[in-house]
Amino acid sequence: MRLIRKGKVKDIYELQNSNLLFHFTDRISAFDVAMDTPIPGKGEILCKFAEFWFSALGTNNHMIKTHDKDKLEVKRMDMIPIECVVRGFLYGGLLERYKRNETSLSLPTSFEPTQAAKLPVPIFDPTTKSQNHDRPVSEQEIIGSGILSERDFEYMKEASLSLYCKMSEVVEKAGFILADVKFEFGRDLETTEILLGDSLGPDEFRLWLKDDYGPGRAQKSYDKQLLRDWLAETGFKDIRMNDDKIGKKYPPPRLPASLVADLVSRYCLAYEKISGIRL
């Protein structure tokens, strides 16, 4: 087994059979920065979430089997360098871009563009895939750069929207709302078929409790939005954005024990309610 990439939250190994092994660590990141404080048990929950969703969604994917509590063996693929984001609510980065008039999002005049408002229909909002900072990317740019053909772009777009709807149905039955989600796809090295890849869990989606939901305000999230909000409140988000401008890196703050415990509690609750499996 050979380590081929150490990511912000996931380590990837090459196995002797040429498959890959994802090790879901207890690391957590936000605003493209890995925190120094671990989140105990997070890796196990993310691994179990990935196994659950790959099994439940009924779409071709790269999962083979799990190893131990926090490792997933997957088929090696040629990953497509696009993050397929689907958004069902006006929140987070989409809301910020909408306020700055930096999005092509077209909304009916009757729509009230308040924070966390449900969009008339889910939208496909892809971004680049980068180790540093992802950015929104248009259909024209994706096709024009040769990353995807028009046919493959449409396939990934429709697959992403369909998967979002399937996931929304599952989480709604568990009492949650799926605000948005990020999918990644790759090509099978033998057949070139496009398969669902990477992982699916609280690091890839925003999840809200239905009973707590209310438009016009920030939502209580059962994902890593809790960390993003804390980093924004403490000023780290602004520091991080300034880092991009001046080309320096500011070390991440140490996360308080109360925040760590809250993250673990929310991740556990989300997994148990959605999967129906006790940890």
Terminal Cα distance for the chain, rounded: 28
- Distances in Å between the Cα of 160 and the Cα atoms of 11, 83, 94, 207, 267 are 25, 10, 17, 17, 23
- Per-residue model confidence (pLDDT) at position 91: 96
- Per-residue model confidence (pLDDT) at position 239: 83
Q: How confident is the model at residue 246 (pLDDT cuts 50, 70, 90)?
A: low
Please name every residue paired with 188 in a beta bridge, in sequence order, or none if there are none.
Answer: 77
| Mean pLDDT, residues 44-55 | 98
Please name every residue paired with 206 in a beta bridge, in sequence order, or none if there are none.
Answer: 180
Burial 238-274 (b: 16+ CB within 10 A, else e): ebbeebeeeeeeeebeebeeebbeebbebbbbbbebb
Q: Where are the alpha helices (DSSP H) in the chain?
A: 42-56, 92-99, 139-144, 150-173, 225-233, 236-246, 257-275
Inter-axis angle of helices 257-275 and 42-56, to 10 degrees?
20
- Distances in Å between the Cα of 190 and the Cα atoms of 19, 115, 186, 195, 199 are 13, 45, 12, 12, 21
Strand, helix or coil for residue 42? helix
CATH H-level superfamily of 77-226: ATP-grasp fold, B domain (3.30.470.20)
User: pTM for the whole thing?
Assistant: 0.93
DSSP string, 169-198: HHHHHTTEEEEEEEEEEEEETTT--EEEES
Number of other CB atoms surrounding residue 42 within 10 Å: 25
- Per-residue model confidence (pLDDT) at position 130: 66
Which residue reads 């500011």 in tokens?
250
Phi/psi of residue 13, each to 5°?
-115, 150
pLDDT one-digit tens code per residue, 266-276: 999 999 999 99
Q: How confident is the model at residue 250 (pLDDT cuts 50, 70, 90)?
A: confident
* Top-ranked range on mean pLDDT: pick from 47-51, 235-239, 247-251: 47-51
Inter-axis angle of helices 257-275 and 225-233, to 10 degrees?
160
Q: How confident is the model at residue 103 (pLDDT cuts 50, 70, 90)?
A: confident
Lowest mean pLDDT segment, chosen from 15-24, 124-133, 201-210: 124-133
Structure tokens at 100: 């700055």
Lowest mean pLDDT segment, chosen from 69-83, 150-164, 237-251: 237-251
* Whole-number average pLDDT of the chain: 94
- Domain range annotation of the chain: 77-226
In the predicted structure, residue 131 carries a pLDDT above the cut 80 = no
Measuring CA to CA, which residue among 129, 137, 148 is closest to residue 192? Answer: 148
In the predicted structure, residue 75 carries a pLDDT above the cut 70 = yes
In the predicted structure, residue 16 carries a pLDDT above the cut 90 = yes
Long-range contacts of range 154-157, CB-CB < 8 Å, 24 or more positions apart? Answer: 155/194, 156/80, 156/82, 156/84, 156/185, 156/194, 157/84, 157/124
In the predicted structure, residue 247 carries a pLDDT above the cut 70 = no
